[in-house]
Amino acid sequence: MAETQAYTAISEALKALGIEAQNPGTSTGSKSMNGGSLLDSVSPVDGSHIASVTQTTPQEYEQVVQTAQEAFKVWRLMPAPQRGEVVRQFNEELRRLKEPLGKLVSYEMGKSYQEGLGEVQEMIDICDFAVGLSRQLHGLTMHSERPGHRMYEQYHPLGIVGIISAFNFPVAVWSWNTALAWVCGDVCIWKPSEKTPLTGIACQKIAARVFAKNKLPEGISCLINGDYKVGELMTQDERVPLISATGSTRMGKQVAQTVGARLGKSLLELGGNNAIIVTPDSDLKMTVIGAVFGAVGTAGQRCTSTRRLIIHESIYDKVKNALVDAYGQLRIGNPLDEKNHVGPLIDTDAVKNYQKALEKVVEEGGKLIVEGGVLEGEGYESGCYVKPAIAEAENHFEIVQHETFAPVLYLMKYSGDVDNAIALQNGVRQGLSSAIMTNNLREAERFLSVAGSDCGIANVNIGTSGAEIGGAFGGEKETGGGRESGSDAWKVYMRRQTNTINYTTELPLAQGIKFDL
């Protein structure tokens, strides 16, 4: 395969990140010198084979865990503010390398360059949050019922945190976990998606330089590469007390069962089927912007992507026509070109799922009002570019109940009051993100009340995607119930301990129990 213009542009970014990639071509799929099979990184932008990385063998995994265990003995004893200082230095490296890392994210995953930069900014933001948090890992003090006693609780690090991340946010979600885990005193082993291994290597190289500069053990940050079998090494390992996994609901159920069987802890961020409710009191311009970005941003491959638009019947045609006009202005192409709005899907398997979804919605009685299709010709040689589509559908359709990781938006009507729309919004198995577009205070408050959205994220007059790191991120039902990033999400990376101190010469028992000798 000839070297493409996009690949040439990315070469400098790879060099800045310390990665020596092969010339584009076709991998032989052979084994590396250490025995691990080679894993190919192929860009959906132009189909270029960027590089091959070695998959971790069981023997290498064992070495990684032992290295992490030894590093934990050192890292846990360092005062949390000092750990925060190391995270601050990592943050500075991210700021310095924001452009090349953002470009690599864009090229390897396929999201727009602006979104790639935004993802690295998320890394920077969570590091800022973690640095401040390093001086606030607080417990509580409680009054004891026994005289001369003091009770309090404190938090200790868990040990090794295993992180399994997805291709759609190849670096941000890792940083959500590691930045908090590191300041909490944990060490981390990361298995990035097998579809985006180079971004994982880039982040590991950055972290390794920072830890080496501070003369700290390399095992504080560890990387393993490979398919689901490599991930299973962690989920089955009793030495890894917490597994944080991001991906499909199907994958999350397998992780939960495996980790639960050994009574480990799991933090799950799984599928979404997110809706925006559009009421008669909505602002049309804001609605269109929020819905279009939510539906086509990252080519519909966000867990918070907008899948459903629930529109009041009185304004349905008005909103539909505005969306059709907006979709007609979308530019699809190389995500490194900032003039384009939509890049490729991650691979041709994703394209097939997209096509099946469009066929299925029509079979079930829906109607395509913005027809999709696979793009061909110059600039689309990878076979991963598709047209964002809009279909009129019903909430009960099987395909609507299912999360399709592609730019397919389903429109549906509601009548009556906002409670009817909320029922449709909640009428799916997933519960990640939700939004309502309204200038009616009563509708907004109803949506946010206990009788409103059942999702972990509920927004008013903004879309379903674009969460800030200050708030806890996660969802309910088949989204898994996990929480990452801001608020008090740090507590999942630590073990809680209640302490009682007796500073008298007597030993009274709780609940007034007498036990005299």
Residue 25 has what pLDDT? 44
Domain 274-477 CATH class label: alpha beta
CATH number belonging to domain 5-269+487-496: 3.40.605.10
pLDDT (0 to 100) of residue 431: 98
Is the Cα dihedral 28, 33, 36, 41 positive or negative? negative
357: which residues sit within 8 A by CB, 6+ positions away? Answer: 399, 402, 404, 406, 408
- Burial classification of residue 205, based on how many CB atoms lie within 10 Å of its CB (0-12 exposed, 13-18 middle, 19 or more buried): middle
> Using CA of residue 72, residue 172, residue 121, residue 203, what is the dihedral sign?
positive
* Alpha-carbon separation of residue 7 from 15, 53, 314, 493 (angstroms): 12, 17, 50, 39
**pLDDT of amino acid 516:** 81
What pLDDT, in 10s, does the model give residues 452-486? 999 999 999 999 998 899 999 999 999 999 999 99
Q: Who's near 116: CB < 8 A, 6+ residues apart?
A: 101, 102, 103, 104, 105, 106, 109, 335
Residue ranges, CATH 3.40.605.10, the chain: 5-269+487-496
Total residues belonging to the chain: 517
Tell me if 464 sits within 8 A of 305, measured CB to CB: yes
Q: Which residues belong to CATH 3.40.309.10 in the chain?
A: 274-477
Model pLDDT, residue 6? 74
CA 27-31-32 angle, to 5 degrees, is: 95
Q: Which of 333, 39, 301, 52 is nearest to 167 (CA)?
A: 301
Q: Is 269 a catalytic residue?
A: yes
Q: Which of 93, 108, 115, 269 is catalytic?
A: 269
pTM: 0.95
Tokens representing 264 are 């480990």
What residues in the chain have per-residue pLDDT under 70?
1-3, 21-35
* Residues 6+ positions from 485 with CB-CB distance below 8 Å: 126, 129, 176, 180, 467, 469, 470, 471, 472, 473
